[in-house]
Amino acid sequence: MLQILLLTRQHNREAFYCGEQELDEYLKKTARQHNEKGISRTFVLVDTEKSARILGFFTLAGCEIVTADLPPKYAKRYPNKAPTARLARLAVSVDRQRKGLGGIMMVEAMRRTLSVSENIGIIGFFVDAKNQGARQYYEQYDFIPLPETPLTLFLPLVTLVSAVEVLGK
């Protein structure tokens, strides 16, 4: 059975390889420390049968955005700066890619972000795509590219709420 857990020392970070060095290095060297310091939260996807093996991971963090960077339709709704959540990283082990695991983690990341929005208030969910392929991946979840920096994408809160309703079932 698949399970999503907070990253701990029990998980074998060394063996993880997703094909993007920066993501692999982050998991190995930084993610757990950032969990401990409260800088971000990294969750891992594991199979309960072999729970040390990391099949994928994602990292959530808070941040503040300059709302003038949003598409004008959204920019005018908010003060100059606003709090948001950020999907700081998302990766699936290279031998398990394109089998829906990224989707499972995305839905979980959205659920957790929705819970944050209900408790402290954020205007949506941001992600920095590594490249054009990753951008397309996020666009299928209705993330909107920012006009000036299209590899940064924004999921407004209202879209997040409906996405969790539809995808979370």
Q: Which residues are at the interface with ligand COA (CB under 6 A)?
A: 18-20, 23, 90-92, 97-103, 129-130, 133-134, 136-137
Residue 80 and residue 20: Cα distance in Å, rounded?
34
User: Given the complex with ligand COA, which of 75 and 111 has the nearer CB atom?
Assistant: 111
Residue 141 and residue 113: Cα distance in Å, rounded?
14
Q: How far is the CB of 34 from ligand COA (least distance, A)?
A: 17
User: Given the complex with ligand COA, which of 69 and 139 has the nearer CB atom?
Assistant: 139
Specify the residue for token string 């209705």. 142
Which single residue brings its beta carbon nearest to ligand COA? 102
User: Given the complex with ligand COA, which of 117 and 152 has the nearer CB atom?
Assistant: 152
Q: How far is the CB of 130 from ligand COA (least distance, A)?
A: 4
Q: How far is the CB of 58 from ligand COA (least distance, A)?
A: 8
Q: How far is the CB of 138 from ligand COA (least distance, A)?
A: 8
Instruction: Please name which of 127, 131, 134, 31 lies closest in space to residue 88, comparing C-alpha atoms.
Output: 127
Residue 154 and residue 77: Cα distance in Å, rounded?
15
User: Given the complex with ligand COA, which of 75 and 128 has the nearer CB atom?
Assistant: 128
The set of residues, in sequence order, having a beta carbon less than 8 Å from that of 74 and lying 6+ positions away, is: 67, 154, 156
User: Given the complex with ligand COA, which of 101 and 167 has the nearer CB atom?
Assistant: 101
Q: How far is the CB of 120 from ligand COA (least distance, A)?
A: 25
**b/e code 4-27 from CB counts within 10 Å (16+ = b):** beebeeebebeebebeeeebbebb
